[in-house]
């Protein structure tokens, strides 16, 4: 039970430590199940070479099983995996074929399928389409959770092959009913997390039944790293980066509940990731976040989330038009109305911006960076650049709130700046 990371005393957070399997990952269950199933069905011959695409863990688990049972193993693996994985595979005697790193595990799958089609001597268990994969969790991992807990409000695992989600999810729903929510942690497209996949990349493993999932929640690469570190620092769990991604979503789900048990999978240990620097290298931080004072929604929502995740070192800054200097989409609180959703205590600074600066910086966004934005974005950019100039280092993030099409008739891109800035306020409101 993870008491430090649980956001509420009434919600209990549990980690299923699959990292304690023989090779340090959940894939030991799957590798054993797939090989035993092939032997029982007679689809593999003694001494036949097993071929399998992997991002690392399944390959290592198969290498252990194959070493014990006398099967040669050839794995297809992205070239950008950590060197620890390569060395473990070599120590177990596996042959490695590298696929293009930029294509991730999808590229490894594509190459392995082509190799298997060309050469019938290979036997490919194909974890992505082999029902022995989810069945290993249906008959093993799921019942183990049920032995420990009488009630489960939510189960969270990563979207990889889908085996853990499908096997455990189905077993929990059969035993406890649909009150159990099965939640998938999915990396955002373009944000690779080792061991997980985005279904938006175009490949859905055949064993995945999306109807079994109650929710898919996206997780960023950064959150995966931050929460991998939190597992170690707060709970003493030395885990891989996919487990950090899963933990991030599990804690989010726990925060949404009033009570109950939330169970998530720690899919592997951290030894294979040491060279990647996830435990040692600085994580990109946000020094300041700048948005406009309009309704306050962006400032309040993003600002609160950044402070919760990164602490008070993040400065939340509001760009506010000077009274009597209307800027489309922004408001001056001095005009007498403060939107009820605005919590001024969340703001570190309010900085005034003139109508003229808003126009000048709207043009600069287009001329210098090719960003065709509305005038409020120019106002926000002016303040963001000012903040950046005050810092010695760090990341300053600001919001481009809308594009410029709606402002063409106002002349902000064509008329002399002073002429536009002197227009009656009806232009802006």
Q: Which residues are tagged catalytic?
A: 27, 242
CA-atom Rg of the chain in angstroms? 26
SS3 102: helix
The pair of three-digit structure tokens given for residue 259, joined into one six-digit string: 């009570």
What are the φ/ψ torsions at residue 350 (nearest 5 degrees)? -120, 125
């Amino acid at each position: 039970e993870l008491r430090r990371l649980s956001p509420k005393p009434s919600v209990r957070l549990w980690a299923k430590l699959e990292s304690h399997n023989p090779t340090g990952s959940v894939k030991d269950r799957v590798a054993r199940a797939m090989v035993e199933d092939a032997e029982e069905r007679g689809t593999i011959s003694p001494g036949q070479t097993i071929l399998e695409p992997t991002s690392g863990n399944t390959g290592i688990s198969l290498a252990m099983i194959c070493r014990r049972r006398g099967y040669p193993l050839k794995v297809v693996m992205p070239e950008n995996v950590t060197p620890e994985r390569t060395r473990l595979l070599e120590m177990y005697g596996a042959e490695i074929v590298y696929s293009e790193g930029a294509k991730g595990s999808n590229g490894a799958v594509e190459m392995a399928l082509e190799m298997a089609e060309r050469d019938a001597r290979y036997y490919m268990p194909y974890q992505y389409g082999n029902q022995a994969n989810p069945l290993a969790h249906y008959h093993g991992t799921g019942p183990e959770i049920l032995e420990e807990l009488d009630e489960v409000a939510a189960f969270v695992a990563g979207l990889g092959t889908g085996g853990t989600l499908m096997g455990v999810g189905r077993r929990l729903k059969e035993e406890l009913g649909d009150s159990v929510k099965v939640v998938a942690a999915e990396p955002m497209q373009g944000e690779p997390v080792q061991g997980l996949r985005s279904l938006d990349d175009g490949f859905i493993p055949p064993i995945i039944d999306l109807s079994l999932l109650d929710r898919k929640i996206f997780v960023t690469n950064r959150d995966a790293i931050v929460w991998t570190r939190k597992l170690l620092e707060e709970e003493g769990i030395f885990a891989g980066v996919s487990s950090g991604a899963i933990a991030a979503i599990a804690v989010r789900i726990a925060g949404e509940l009033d009570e109950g048990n939330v169970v998530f999978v720690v899919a592997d240990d951290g030894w294979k990731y040491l060279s990647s620097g996830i435990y040692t290298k600085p994580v990109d931080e946000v020094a300041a976040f700048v948005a406009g004072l309009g309704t306050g929604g962006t400032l309040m929502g993003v600002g609160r989330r950044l402070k919760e995740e990164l602490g008070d070192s993040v400065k939340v800054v509001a760009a506010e038009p000077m009274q009597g200097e209307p800027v489309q989409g922004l408001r001056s609180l001095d005009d007498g109305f403060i939107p009820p959703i605005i919590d001024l205590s969340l703001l570190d600074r309010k900085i005034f911006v003139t109508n003229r600066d808003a126009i000048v910086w709207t043009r600069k966004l287009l001329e210098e960076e090719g960003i065709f934005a509305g005038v409020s974005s120019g106002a926000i950019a002016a303040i963001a650049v000012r903040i950046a100039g005050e810092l010695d280092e760090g990341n300053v993030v600001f919001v481009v709130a809308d594009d410029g099409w709606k402002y063409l008739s106002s002349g902000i891109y064509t008329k002399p700046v002073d002429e536009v800035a002197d227009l009656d306020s009806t232009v802006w409101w």
